[in-house]
Amino acid sequence: MLKSFAVLSALLLSPAVMAQDAPPPPPSGGMPQPEQIFAFMDANKDGFIAKDEAQGALVQYFANIDADKDDKISLEELKTAMAALRPPEPTQGGSE
């Protein structure tokens, strides 16, 4: 499952997916935010990404991201899926 999410992350966040009509990437050059991906893919601006609007890896992983199984992805579902992809925060500490 983790491998699947790693592949999803790489494909979903690729520059090709974000190339057109999307807000500019974060100034740090980091990964696009869920809101940017959502704005790009929600073609009819109804507040959801339908199966026919999905692109790239989102097509393959649509069912995994669609947590409530209503055949559309909300911004919250996309945020949840992307949050699961983030590496854990490094722990502070050590020996002194």
pLDDT digits (tens, 9 = 90+) for 14-45: 544 444 454 555 555 567 889 999 999 999 99
**Could you tell me the pTM of the whole model?**
0.65
Domain 2-19+31-85 -> CATH class: mainly alpha
Q: What is the per-residue pLDDT for 66?
A: 97
DSSP state of 94: -
- Strand, helix or coil at 1? coil
Question: Domain locations in the chain?
Answer: 2-19+31-85
**Spacing of C-alpha 1 from chain mean position:** 16
